[in-house]
Homo-oligomer: A and B are copies of this chain.
Amino acid sequence: MHHGWRDRIHCADQDNGGMMAGSAFLAVDWGTTNRRAYRIAADGSVEATERDDRGILSIEQGGFPAEAAAIRARMGDLPMLCAGMVGSNRGWAELPYAPCPNGIEQLSSAVQWVEPDRTAIVPGVACFRNDRADVMRGEEVQLLGAVIGGLTPRDALLCQPGTHCKWAWMVDGRIDRFVTAMTGEIFSLLQRHSLLAVQMDGQVEPNAAFLRGVADARDGDLLVRLFGVRADFVTGRAVDADATSYVSGLLIGTDVAARLGEGAQPVYLLADPMLGALYSAAIEVVGGTAILADSHAAFIHGITHIWRTLS
């Protein structure tokens, strides 16, 4: 089963982000709850895609080789390069975090093979800055891919909204530092389990209530503003239909204001359309500029580049 693609020379320096010919492979973005798999042709084009809910939490201990075989049975018998939580202690194998600042060459050199010449995993990245630690697994491929693919400048602030929102400051094409905000998870906890849950059964939209939440967040007093949602309700000052969007605005507004506090700058958003619209609206309220970038394309650029340095 040796394909010979590991014997080729390291070609990262000659690549310069272009779509040089390489070998075909399977790329898997393997997260906690979801998984995306792509068959990427020798010319870099995406020939097949699948998405399912076979995230690492749904795979039993020791079940990863069988999962990889099942992907190959569906998508082609090719070498596979994985990224994301699959490299955590709950995944296929626990890889040490690569240090920050981190560029695509450093990240590529830390890739580890879990099936010799057959299946490899890209490590996550850790950032230690003053007294703060932060970690990511999977987002680093998107971040570096966004720069390599020309979707963002080499010096830029990038944001990946979600359950745990990542903000990364790119310097000369590398991840210089990053922070993770628990924005999406706190929203979910409030919606599902809090005193406010009964009010939060609406959809989140970048509407007037959302924008009011973003504006109210600017005083930095989130813990009080959250109780205000209840107070507005029991005193008849606001209607429940607004509560979900307002709370989302409070949380996203708090997150955005903390990041852009040192002065407005463009933010490149790697986001799905809904979160992209919400973060864009919040960033504009705070005086920044938001630019949407294609997060899937960023992942493809990044993982393909890493693959070519290996193969």
Contacts and interface: CB of A to CB of B under 8 A. Distances in A.
A74 interface: no
Interface in A125-177: 126, 128, 131-135, 164-165
Interface in A172-207: 179-183, 185-186, 189-190, 192-195
A135 B230 CA distance: 9
Interface size bucket, A side? Answer: 35 or more
Interface in A221-280: 221-224, 226-228, 230-232, 234-235, 237, 251, 254-255, 258
Nearest to A133: B231
A220 interface: yes
Given A133-B232, A135-B231, A232-B133, A220 B223 contact: no
A5 interface: no
A158 to B, nearest CB: 16
A216 interface: yes
A97 interface: yes
Most buried by B among A128, A193, A231: A231
Nearest to A32: B195
A88 B234 CA distance: 9
A28 B291 CA distance: 58
A193 B182 contact: no
Most buried by B among A131, A183, A221: A221
Contacts of A222: 222, 254
Given A134-B227, A182-B195, A224-B258, 13 more contacts: A97-B235, A133-B235, A134-B224, A134-B231, A135-B234, A164-B195, A165-B223, A181-B224, A181-B227, A182-B223, A189-B190, A189-B193, A189-B194
Can you list the 8 inter-chain pairs with the closest CB atoms, starting with the nearest? Answer: A181-B223, A180-B227, A133-B231, A189-B189, A182-B226, A135-B231, A179-B224, A182-B227
